[in-house]
Amino acid sequence: MEPSKVYFTDMRALPGTNLQQKLKRLILKAGIGQIDFQDKYAAIKIHFGEPGNLSYLRPNFAKTVADAVKELGGRPFLTDCNTLYVGRRKNALDHIEAAYENGFSPFSTGCQIIIADGLKGTDEVDVPVRGGEYIREAHIGRAVMDADIFISLSHFKGHESTGFGGAIKNIGMGCGSRAGKMDMHCAGKPDVDKSVCRGCGVCMKNCAHGAIAFDENRKAGIDHGKCVGCGRCIGACNFDAVYNGNDSANDELNCKMAEYAKAVVDGRPAFHINIVNQVSPYCDCHGENDTAIIPDVGMFASFDPVALDVACADACNRMPVMPGSLLDENLRACGARDHHDHFTNVSPNTDWRSCMEHGEKIGLGTHSYELITVK
């Protein structure tokens, strides 16, 4: 398979230019103008950020993309689907309010917000997955599938279950309805190491399904009958008491996520953008963000989401470790093992490569890329 073209520009902005102008140059050079947008609906899939988190993408990036789509004759809208876990984005009303609170409004972005799976996360389309091994039909938010053109605009950062969150996670997990998210997560259900549990209750507060309870010794336990395997409790625990007891579960999640992404983009024009700045160790779904694990890298764009994510991961792994970050802390811990990968060093039970390998296997894209720098 021929290498896919991935276009890159750094985060330097000298006098006379700015990052929004650089982003526009990047996406035009990467070929977004090759898509026929005339009078077509274009879904721009973005993560609006959980209120309290400050590492999500600024709305200015979304405006740049939306404005470019409008200049090409398209009708853009920003979209995301509702979440499984406790937070402010479980239904469309709260979700839109959270987006507005974080700065995403028609006034700041130049386009409307549509929560793709509706008021309660039940407005979905069952989409066949060509070549799927885990998913026969993906449950995708209806507005995503009603759009003529699909664009992903992703904040590239770490993730406690998938290693990192980039284009494929933004597309696959992000476009799944609430039932779709449960479908992807259901194989991996965490356990609790009671010997290190402090009984603080943070895991229980972060469980949307009432799966966590405490015994007479104030030690947490997880009811796998209620647990959907979202992994939220893993990231919430400050003492590493919650862990994934199934070594293959995260790899299976990665494979399912790739298949959901294939369902979203298959058979229609799609374009993908990753912004690699404020690379926090965990997802923007958290109501907080830890310090970045590496310095800002830049902005990437491609028609191939697999090549795009691999290029971003490779670029991140060439960056130095930020002193005082979780990554630095993990590497300095007594008995720490260096996996020679920043994302696995942050979340040692993850391997992002399983997602990329499966994505290539099912025809989502290729891990081989040619990196083209845009000034």
In which band, very low, low, confident or very high, does the pLDDT at 246 lie, cut at 50, 70 and 90? low
Q: What percent of the chain has pLDDT over 90?
A: 88
How many other β-carbons are positioned within 10 Å of the β-carbon of residue 237?
Answer: 23
Rounded Cα distance between 228 and 255, Å, is 17
Letter for the amino acid at 256? K
What was the pLDDT predicted at 231?
A: 76
- CB of 77 closer than 8 Å to CB of 42: yes
Query: Do the Cβ atoms of 173 and 184 come closer than 8 Å?
Result: yes
State mean pLDDT over 22-36.
Answer: 98
Shortest CA distance to 46 belongs to which of 122, 99, 124, 117? 99
For the whole model, what pTM was predicted?
0.89
- Please provide residue 311's backbone torsions phi and psi, each rounded to the nearest 5 degrees: -60, -40
Instruction: Give, as one character, the DSSP assignment of residue 34.
Output: G
Q: What gap in Å lies between CA 163 and CA 343, rounded to an integer?
A: 5
Residue that wins the pLDDT comparison between 48 and 208: 48
- Distance between CA 138 and CA 60 in Å, rounded? 31
Name the percent of the chain in helix, strand, coil, to the closest 5.
35, 20, 45
Note the pLDDT tens digit of each residue in 54-64. 999 999 999 99
Crossing angle of the two packed helices 178-185 and 167-175, in degrees rounded to 10: 120
294-306 average pLDDT score: 98
d(CA 42, CA 26): 19
Angle at 3 (CA atoms; ends 313, 64), nearest 5 degrees: 60
pLDDT-derived band at 245, boundaries 50, 70, 90 = low
Banded model confidence at residue 208, pLDDT cuts 50, 70, 90: confident
Name which of 341, 351, 238, 355 is nearest 286 in CA terms: 238
- With helix as H, strand as E and coil as C, how does the chain read? CCCEEEEEECCCCCCCCCHHHHHHHHHHHHCHHHCCCCCCEEEEECCCCCCCCCCCCCHHHHHHHHHHHHHCCCEEEEEECCCCCCCCCCCHHHHHHHHHHCCCCHHHHCCEEEECCCCCCCCEEEEECCCCCCCCEEEEEHHHHHCCEEEEEEECEEECCCEEECHHHHHHHHHECHHHHHHHHCCCCEEECCCCCCCCCHHHHCCCCCCEEECCCCCEEECCCCCCCCCHHHHHCCCCCEEECCCCHHHHHHHHHHHHHHHHHCCCCEEEEEEECCCCCCCCCCCCCCCCCCCCCEEEEECCHHHHHHHHHHHHHCCCCCCCCHHHHHHHCCCCCCCCCHHHHHCCCCCCHHHHHHHHHCCCCCCCEEEEECC
* Six-digit token string for 42: 């274009």
8 A C-beta contact, residue 311 and residue 291: no
pLDDT category at 76 given cuts 50, 70, 90 is very high
Cα 234 to Cα 130: distance, rounded to the nearest angstrom = 32
**Band of residue 209 on the pLDDT scale cut at 50, 70, 90:** confident
Question: Where residue 236 falls among pLDDT bands split at 50, 70, 90?
Answer: confident
How far apart CA 131 and CA 142 sit, in angstroms, is 22
CA distance 133 to 111: 37
* Average pLDDT of every residue of the chain: 95
